[in-house]
C-alpha cells in the first residue's frame, strides 16, 4: 500500500513539473475555467430570475448541484481523463506492454499517471459556488450533512471514473475512441442540472441508464439534508456496483490484449 502511495507521489510531482513549464498556458486555462463557470451559471440565473422554485429546487440548492458538477469535473479532467487518453495512445503504439510488465496493478498505473493541475481552478470555483449558495440560503449545513455530502462526492467521482474505465477498456477492441471520450463528456454535461427538472424519458435515462444523477443530484441532496436513508444506500450501492462492473470489464479487456508491437 505504501508503495502505491509512493508511486502516486512521484507521478504527481512529474506532472506538476511539466505543467509549470508552460506557465502562460496554465494562467490561460485558469481564465478559461472562469469563462466556462460563468456560462454554466447563466441559464440558472435566467431561470431563477423568473421562477423562485423549479421542480422543488430553489436558487441556492440548484447552485449546490452546479458546485458538485464542477467538483466532479475538476477531478475527472484533472486526473482521470488525461491519464486514460494517454492509455489509449499507449495501446495504439504498443507502449502499454511496459505498463503490464511492471509489478504493480495495471489499472492503478494507468488511472492516475498524468495530471492537468490547472483543473484546480474548477475545483476552487466549485467551493466558491457552494459557499455562496449556503450564504444565500442563510444557514450552514450541519457537520453530519457535510460529511455525508463529501462521502457521496467521493462515490460520485468513483461512479464517473468507472464510466471512464469502461470507455478505456473499449480501446482494446476499437483503438480509436477520441470521439467516445467527447461523447462521455457531453453526457456528463447534463449533470449540471438537478435530475428532477427533467421529465419522463429524460429522468429515467439520467437516473438509471447513464447514472449522472448519482454524481451530482444525490450528493447535493445529501448536503442539503434532503436525501432519504434509502436513497443514500442506493447511491453508495450504485457506485460500488459500477466500480465492480468496470473492474471486471477491465480484467476481461486485459486478457484480450494482444499488443501492437510484437
Instruction: For residue 58, give the DSSP letter.
Output: -
**Spatial CB neighbours of 182, under 8 Å, sequence gap ≥ 6:** none
One of 7, 180, 231, 249 touching other proteins (CB under 8 A): 180
**Spatial separation of the C-alpha atoms in residues 11 and 8, rounded to whole Å:** 5
Rank residues 25 and 228 by Cβ distance to other proteins and give the closer one.
25
The total number of residues shown for the chain amounts to 262
State in angstroms the smallest separation of the CB of 167 from other proteins.
12
* Packing angle of the helix pair 143-174, 81-93 (nearest 10 deg): 20
By CB under 8 A, the residues from 197 to 256 that bind other proteins are: 197-199, 202
Instruction: For residue 175, give the DSSP letter.
Output: S
Contact 221, 203 (CB under 8 A): no
Three-class SS state of 57: strand
* 147 contacts other proteins (rule: CB under 8 A): no
* 121 contacts other proteins (rule: CB under 8 A): no
State in angstroms the smallest separation of the CB of 88 from other proteins.
14
CA distances from 142 to 130, 220, 224 (A): 14, 14, 9
* Packing angle of the helix pair 23-50, 2-21 (nearest 10 deg): 100
* 52 contacts other proteins (rule: CB under 8 A): no
State in angstroms the smallest separation of the CB of 210 from other proteins.
11
Three-class SS state of 214: helix
Rank residues 70 and 193 by Cβ distance to other proteins and give the closer one.
193
Rank residues 1 and 35 by Cβ distance to other proteins and give the closer one.
35
* 164 contacts other proteins (rule: CB under 8 A): no
- The span of 4-12, 84-92, 173-181, 220-228 binding other proteins (CB under 8 A) equals 173-181
Q: Which residues are at the interface with other proteins (CB under 8 A)? A: 22, 25, 28-29, 32, 35-36, 39, 42-43, 46-47, 50-51, 54-55, 176, 179-180, 182-183, 185-187, 189-190, 193, 197-199, 202
Amino acid at each position: 500500500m505504501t508503495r502505491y502511495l509512493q508511486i502516486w507521489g512521484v507521478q504527481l510531482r512529474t506532472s506538476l513539473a511539466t505543467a509549470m513549464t508552460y506557465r502562460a498556458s496554465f494562467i490561460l486555462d485558469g481564465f478559461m475555467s472562469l469563462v466556462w463557470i460563468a456560462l454554466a451559471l447563466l441559464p440558472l440565473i435566467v431561470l431563477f430570475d423568473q421562477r423562485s422554485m423549479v421542480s422543488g429546487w430553489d436558487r441556492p440548492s440548484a447552485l449546490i448541484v452546479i458546485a458538485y458538477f464542477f467538483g466532479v469535473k475538476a477531478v475527472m479532467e484533472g486526473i482521470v481523463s488525461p491519464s486514460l487518453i494517454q492509455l489509449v495512445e499507449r495501446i495504439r503504439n504498443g507502449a502499454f506492454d511496459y505498463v503490464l510488465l511492471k509489478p504493480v496493478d495495471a489499472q492503478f498505473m494507468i488511472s492516475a499517471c498524468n495530471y492537468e493541475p490547472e483543473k484546480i481552478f474548477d475545483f476552487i470555483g466549485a467551493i466558491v459556488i457552494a459557499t455562496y449558495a449556503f450564504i444565500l440560503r442563510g444557514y450552514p449545513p450541519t457537520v453530519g450533512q457535510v460529511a455525508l455530502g463529501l462521502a457521496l462526492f467521493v462515490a460520485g467521482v468513483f461512479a464517473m471514473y468507472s464510466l471512464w474505465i469502461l470507455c478505456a477498456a473499449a480501446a482494446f477492441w476499437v483503438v480509436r475512441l477520441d470521439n467516445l471520450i467527447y461523447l462521455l463528456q457531453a453526457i456528463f454535461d447534463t449533470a449540471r442540472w438537478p435530475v428532477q427538472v427533467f421529465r419522463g424519458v429524460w429522468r429515467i435515462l439520467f437516473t438509471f441508464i447513464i447514472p449522472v444523477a448519482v454524481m451530482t443530484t444525490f450528493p447535493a441532496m445529501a448536503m442539503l439534508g434532503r436525501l432519504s436513508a434509502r436513497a443514500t444506500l442506493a447511491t453508495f450501492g450504485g457506485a460500488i456496483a459500477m466500480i465492480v462492473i468496470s473492474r471486471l470489464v477491465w480484467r476481461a479487456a486485459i486478457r484480450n490484449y494482444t499488443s501492437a508491437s510484437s
